[in-house]
A and B are shown apart, each in its own frame.
Chain A
Amino acid sequence: MDRIWHSVAFRLALLCGGLVVASVLVLSSVFYFVSLGLLARNIDSKITSITEKFSEDAESKGLSVVAQRIESTLSDGVDSDVEILLLTNAAGQKLAGNISGWSELSAPLDQIIDRMVNRGDRLVPSRIRLHKLSDGALLVVGRDMQDLSEIGNLIGRAVAIGGVSAILLAILATFVFRHQFERRIWAIRQTTQEIEAGNLDRRIVLSGTPDEFDRLSADINRMLDRIQHLMEGVRHVSNTIAHNLRTPLGLIRGHLEEALRGVPEQRKLENAGHFAIGAIDDLIVVLEKLLQIAEAESGTRRQPFEPVVLRTVVTDLLELYDAAAEALGITLIVDIEGEPTLHGDKDLLAGILANLIDNALKYAGSPAAIKIQVRETVQAVSIIVQDNGPGIAAHERTKVVQRFYRLSSNRPGSGLGLSIVSAFTHLHDGTLFIEDAQPGLKVRIELPKLLAPII
């Protein structure tokens, strides 16, 4: 019972049933009171008008005329079976009418009252008005209410039967509704349980009618698709990382093993040691970069974002890379319009530019020119790093942002530079474009000045 009470379906169905029953009751009551009330009001006004007419006649034409009128009214065949009329003289003797007399002397005058009246053969519920004429005679005008009370009883019975059926139907609906609800929810729960158990490619089967449950199920299925895609991505990344760490680790191991094989030789051991330290240092750098990417992708790095003046960042970088460019015979050209400012992380923005400049220095060849442009619109800032080297073939442009993707394996590098650029750009809500500079490579980064709030 407790479990049923905790079921949303049950509570909802119960609420709906309750509302149905309540509205049936309200509707019936309104019908009952309005229809019977109208009849009663009609009857009352008729009683009043007849009373007034007869009392006027009595005052102007005398009791005998009224007695005559009463007799003719009772015999005219219009409503004669429900009319109640009586006229007595001051002594209480009946002059005309269809009831034997009026004995209740204390009854209030000139008010319509409910009384049981003896109509010869039976007692009937009636609406009655008593009126004393000026000479002490009593005029009684009324109506037999037997038929109306029968109508009332009929309506009441109908309402009762209707109400009980409504309650029964509501209870039935509650259980049907709850059953339907549970059945649909169960389909979803069963799927999620299977997925929880590791069966990741399970999806919720849709019923085919585009109702709320189908829409919810479709949403959940889409979410599951996305999660599965992400998990495959993670698996792929893990595989790539493992592969890229295993290779240098194997090399280190090989060198050390070789140095220790046979008679240990001082020089051989020294060389192997130096090689191992160098290779491990490279691995540390790779790990650090992977962590940076992961940190950027997790989005946690947004906390310390603050306004960054790009001119300062670019100038600092230029003064770091100018000597290297000079040594390679490469010209660095900087072109900044206005004073572009971004909301971001200075070190990460510098990291983006450093990686792009570093790439250009490595791949543009010599002599070459690297152009760093910063442009600003009302909402966005674009950073463009462009060289006139060989560029990247169209089919490789989307791949170069993948971790460890390298265009050429005979150049030093980790294959993580553009992955870092991509991750840092996304952290800043930006978009990365890798384009053809004809000739050369053009990397364009569009960054909004204000970030979308983190949800």
Chain B
Amino acid sequence: MLPTTPTTRLLLIEDEQDMARYLSKGLEEAGYTVTHADQADQALRLALEQQWDIVIVDRMLPREQDGLDIIKAVRLAAVQTPVLVLSALASLDDRVRGLREGGDDYLTKPFALPELLARLEALIRRANPSVQATHDSRQLRLADLTLDLLSRKAERAGQPITLQPREFKLLEYLVRNQGQVVTRKMLLESVWDFHFDPGTNVIDVQVSRLRNKIDKGHSTPLVHTVRGVGYRFGLDG
């Protein structure tokens, strides 16, 4: 799925040439207009002087520069562009630091390209509330599915659906991100706030249980599996 605006300007700050080439290609195929910077000072200038829809920053840059310093400088200049941090530093502390310094999401290398694309899309959507699904603070709606955020109750085509609290949270997340791909990792982080590999395919089983409750007996399925990546929630398959 293409990003929502006709040209989405993306600044890629990555010093590793091979990685940058591969990422640029993948991102351009996904519809982004990519500008690549491989030096910290050049990257900072670009980030501050031009308008971007999203920025990808690698943490380890040449001459021992940390990508986090770029984010800090950008945030100090009151630029609110969403930033996704890429890093080969896998420990949880590094992740926490990355987010604290102003990053909006953190992805550890090596990663799957679809995972990166799904996260970029989610970040852009979050930054542009106008393109989100129409909803007020009390209700979320998609086709004949309604979620009451106050009473934490859901119904489809007038039929109430019995959901456990966490299932409701999962459904709420899917509805809020309708139309875009969400990966298993994103679900684990957003719905359960866990940052480890849970081993067995627990997320798949969770989604399939929810799918049973939502889609069973209805002609139009709302939960769609995106092979090898994750799920998409919405009317179109």
Q: List A residues at the B interface (Cβ < 8 Å).
A: 277, 280-281, 284-285, 288-289, 291-292, 295, 301, 303-304, 316, 319-324, 326-327, 347, 350-351, 354-355, 358, 361-362, 413, 417
9 contacts between A and B (CB under 8 A): A281-B112, A291-B90, A292-B196, A320-B194, A320-B198, A324-B200, A350-B196, A351-B196, A362-B199
Q: Does B65 contact A (CB under 8 A)?
A: no
Scoring B residues 160 to 202 as 1 if CB is less than 8 Å from chain A, else 0, what string do you get?
0000111000000000000000000000100011111111111
Q: Which of B165, B196, B202 contacts A324 (CB under 8 A)?
A: B202
Known contacts A321-B202, A350-B194, A354-B194, then 17 further A-B pairs from the complex at CB < 8 Å, ordered by chain A residue: A281-B112, A288-B90, A295-B91, A301-B92, A301-B93, A316-B192, A316-B193, A316-B194, A319-B164, A323-B202, A324-B206, A327-B205, A347-B195, A350-B196, A354-B198, A358-B200, A362-B200
Which of B93, B197, B198 contacts A288 (CB under 8 A)?
Answer: B197
Residue B110 is within 8 A (CB to CB) of chain A in the complex: yes
A206–B87 alpha-carbon span in the complex (Å): 52
Residues in chain B near residue A327, CB distance under 8 A = 205, 208-209
Smallest CB-CB separation from B209: which chain A residue?
A323
Within 8 A of A (CB), among B68-92: 90-92
With A304-B93, A319-B164, A323-B209 already in contact, the answer to whether A355 and B199 are too (CB < 8 A) is yes
Residues in A with CB closer than 8 Å to B90 are 288, 291
Bound CA span A327–B205, Å? 7
Whole-angstrom distance between the Cβ of A352 and the nearest chain B Cβ:
10
- Residues of A near B165 (CB, < 8 A) are 319
Closest-by-CB residue of A relative to B195 is A347
B interface majority secondary structure: loop
Tell which of A284, A316, A320 has the most Cβ of chain B within 10 Å.
A320
B198 touches A358 (CB 8 A): yes
| A-B contacts at CB below 8 angstroms, number | 71
Note all chain A residues with C-beta closer than 8 A to B195. Answer: 347
**What CA separation (Å) do A262 and B233 show in the bound complex?**
43
- For the complex of A and B, list the 4 residue pairs with the smallest distance between their C-beta atoms, beginning with the closest: A358-B199, A319-B166, A323-B205, A324-B205
> Would B198 and A289 count as touching, CB distance under 8 A?
no
Separation of A324 and B93 alpha carbons in the complex (Å): 29
Instruction: Provide the bound-state CA to CA distance between A284 and B109, in Å.
Output: 9
Q: Is the Cβ of B110 less than 8 Å from the Cβ of A284?
A: yes
Bound Cα distance A362, B202 (Å): 12
The residues in B between 94 and 113 inclusive whose CB is less than 8 angstroms from any CB of A are 96, 108, 110, 112
Whether the Cβ atoms of A319 and B192 lie closer than 8 Å is yes
Instruction: Please pick, from A285, A289, A303, A347, the residue contacting B194 in the complex, using a CB distance under 8 A.
Output: A347
Instruction: Choose among B193, B197, B201 the residue with the greatest number of A CB atoms under 10 Å from its CB.
Output: B197
Give bound CA distance, A323 to B191, whole Å: 15
Which of A320, A413, A417 is in CB contact (< 8 Å) with B202? A320
Whether B166 contacts A354 by the Cβ 8 Å rule is no
Give the distance in Å from the alpha carbon of A291 to the alpha carbon of B199 in the complex. 16
Report the Cα distance A323→B90, complex, angstroms.
28
Q: In whole Å, how far is B60's beta carbon from the nearest beta carbon of chain A?
A: 16
Q: Chain A residues near B202 (CB, 8 Å)? A: 320-321, 323-324
Interface string of B97-140 (1 = CB under 8 A from A): 00000000000101010000000000000000000000000000
> Smallest CB–CB gap between A419 and chain B, Å?
14
Across-interface contacts of B206 in A (CB, < 8 A) = 320, 323-324
When C-beta atoms are compared, the residue in chain A nearest to B169 turns out to be A319
- Residues from 6 to 26 in B contacting A, C-beta threshold 8 Å: none
Inter-chain contacts of A280 with B (CB < 8 A): 110
